[in-house]
Structure 1
Amino acid sequence: MNHVELLAELSRRRVLAIIRADGPDRAVECIRTLVTAGITLLEVSLTTPGGAEAIARARDEFDPSVLIGAGTVVTPAQADEVAAARAGFVVTPAITRGAVRSVELGVPLFCGALTPTEIVTALDIGALAVKVFPAKLHGPGYFRELRAPLPDAPLLAVGGVDVTTAPQYLQAGALAVGLGSPLLGDAGTGGSQTELAGRAARFLEAISNA
Structure 2
Amino acid sequence: MYVLEELSQRKVLAIIRADGAEAALRCIRTLVDAGITALEVSLTTPDALDAITRARPRLPRSVLLGAGTVLTAGQADAASAAGAGFVVTPGLTQGARRAAAGGTPLLCGALTPTEVISALDLGASAVKVFPAGLHGPRYLRELRAPLPEAPLVAVGGIDAATAPAYLAAGAVAVGVGSPLLGGAGSSGTRQAQDDLAARAATLLEAVGPRRAAADHHRGAEGR
**TM-score bin, normalised by smaller chain:** over 0.9
Compute the TM-score of the two structures, normalised by the length of structure 1: 0.96
> Equivalent of 1:12, from 9, 16, 20?
9
| Aligned partner of residue 187 in structure 1, secondary structure | coil
Distance across 1 between alignment mates of 2:144 and 2:17: 31
User: In the alignment, is residue 40 of structure 1 matched against residue 37 of structure 2?
Assistant: yes
Shift of 1:60: 1.3
Distance across 2 between alignment mates of 1:60 and 1:21: 20
Gaps of 5+ in 1: none
Shift of 1:205: 0.8
> Equivalent of 1:67, from 64, 77, 89?
64
Name 2:156's counterpart in structure 1. Answer: 159
Matched to 1:105, the amino acid is G
Name 1:201's counterpart in structure 2. Answer: 201
Compute the TM-score of the two structures, normalised by the length of structure 2: 0.91
Distance across 2 between alignment mates of 1:162 and 1:63: 26
> Equivalent of 2:85, from 88, 98, 102?
88
Distance across 2 between alignment mates of 1:136 and 1:32: 27
Matched to 1:199, the amino acid is R
Gaps of 5+ in 2: 212-223
| Aligned partner of residue 183 in structure 1, secondary structure | helix
Distance across 2 between alignment mates of 1:147 and 1:133: 15
The two structures, once aligned, show a CA RMSD in angstroms of 1.1
Q: Deviations over 1:22-62 (max 9, x none)?
A: 11111011000000000000000000000011111111111
Could you list the structure 1 runs, at least 4 aligned residues long, displaced by more than 3 angstroms after superposition. none
Question: Per chain length, whose mean CA-contact separation is higher, i.e. which structure has more relative contact order (CA < 8 Å, sep 6+)?
Answer: 2
Distance across 2 between alignment mates of 1:73 and 1:189: 21
Q: Deviations over 1:125-156 (max 9, x none)?
A: 11110000000111001111112100000000
Within 5 A, what are the aligned runs for 1:1-210?
A: 3=1, 5-190=2-187, 192-208=192-208
Matched to 1:39, the amino acid is I
Shift of 1:63: 1.4
Distance across 2 between alignment mates of 1:204 and 1:157: 16
Distance across 2 between alignment mates of 1:90 and 1:58: 16
| Aligned partner of residue 124 in structure 2, secondary structure | coil
Shift of 1:173: 0.1
| Aligned partner of residue 175 in structure 2, secondary structure | strand
Name 2:220's counterpart in structure 1. Answer: none
